[in-house]
Amino acid sequence: MNTQVAIIGAGPAGLLLSHLLHLKGIASVVLESRTRADIESTIRAGVLEQGTMDVLNEAGVGARMRSEGALHHGIELAFGGQRHRIDLSDLTGRAITVYAQHEVIKDLVAARFAADGQILFEVNDVSVHDVDSESPSVRFTHGGEPQQLNADFVIGCDGFHGISRPSIPDQLRRDYQRIYPFGWFGILVESDPSSEELIYAQHARGFALVSTRSPKVQRLYFQCDPKDDVNNWSDDRIWSELHARLENSDGWKLKEGRIFQKNIIGMRSFVSTPMQHGRLFLAGDAAHIVPPTGAKGMNLAVADVRLLSMALEEFYKKGRPDSLAAYTETALKRVWRAEHFSWWMTSMFHKFDDASPFQQELQRAELEYVVSSRAAATALAENYVGLPFA
């Protein structure tokens, strides 16, 4: 098989890149180890920055996002028994949309098949070869048969545990990582929304978050031991913990419902550089991970593939490799800004068991400053809605 761009991974990054390239007249093939049903049913967070919303709309895949997603103009910060609203639109002129990642994937898969795009599901034994030449290839097994995909470029969008990043030699790669001493216990609940906007809560018992997935499905989180077991938490214990961390004296009450999913999410910050080697390029979780507090994961992936699509267009249409050569440097500017914001949000809201009383007071002072200073609130807001693309 031959194509111009081989893409490993059919998550949001790989699928969106394939579609953006299609719109520019550049051929691609997407390889995915899972089934279509699997990628379209894996429920994950979906807070979309303004820039991500714009990219999806410009690519012609934003119709369902606009009709079914929830456009949010603010978020609430809860601490000290009170809630404080950060008006994102007033402070920045921009907003966010809550629209689950698996719904984005459904839209992109539909768009690729409507355009006769090639997505090969259930591929195994994937490996990349000759990426330091002008004729790289990807070898894999599909339908029990060994195959080879020859391409001009290989793009690794296969996540943190994929094969793409390890394909860059260890001696050429530098990884930066921080593992946090806590995780998030997440539940999916059948209920009406408890809040029109997301609530980020700092509490002596630990962080909590009120989010949503659809008008009838809510997503709630609370800080936990990452080594805990979901079987240790009955529904009653979960609701008791959430009520304690989220409710105060203003009369607001968390709405309960049937819990139909429980999971524990580990927390890490991770960046691998360079994000390219020869004709192999990394995008999204293959190159960087952020803790979910800043809602940046999928948005960074979209920013990466937007850069790659423009750089590849420049290469094919104008014969210029400059933007491809500068991809790592350009992408990492946004990545490190998002890493800092996500670390800052995580540090400001979570309980650290080793924090001294002095450090706890600093944490509270930071929160009070953010909600009392327009300048500080604007800094939070402009990072949360996403900095404009260059």
Active site residues: 72, 200, 292, 296, 384
In order of 2, 24, 158, 227, 317, the CA distances from 29 in angstroms are 9, 15, 14, 39, 19
Structure-block tokens of residue 126: 């994937």
Instruction: Looking at the chain, list the stretches that DSSP marks H as alpha helix, in order from N- to C-terminal side.
Output: 12-23, 36-41, 50-58, 63-68, 88-92, 101-114, 235-246, 297-318, 322-325, 327-349, 357-372, 374-384
> What separation, in Å, do the N-terminal and C-terminal C-alpha atoms of the chain show?
36
Q: Which of 90, 85, 13 is nearest to 52 (CA)?
A: 13
Structure-block tokens of residue 104: 């984005």
Q: CB–CB of 175/270 below 8 Å?
A: yes
Residue with tokens 């979570």, as numbered in its chain: 350
Distance in angstroms (rounded) separating the CA atoms of residues 266 and 292: 10
Distance in angstroms (rounded) separating the CA atoms of residues 119 and 114: 12
Q: At what angle do helices 297-318 and 50-58 cross, to 10 degrees?
A: 40
Q: CB–CB of 225/351 below 8 Å?
A: no
Determine the Cα angle at 199 with ends 182 and 192, to 5°.
Answer: 110
b/e code 181-201 from CB counts within 10 Å (16+ = b): ebbbbbbbbebebbbebbbbb
One-letter amino acid of 255: K
Q: CB–CB of 242/208 below 8 Å?
A: yes
Question: Residue 34 CA to chain centroid, in angstroms?
Answer: 19
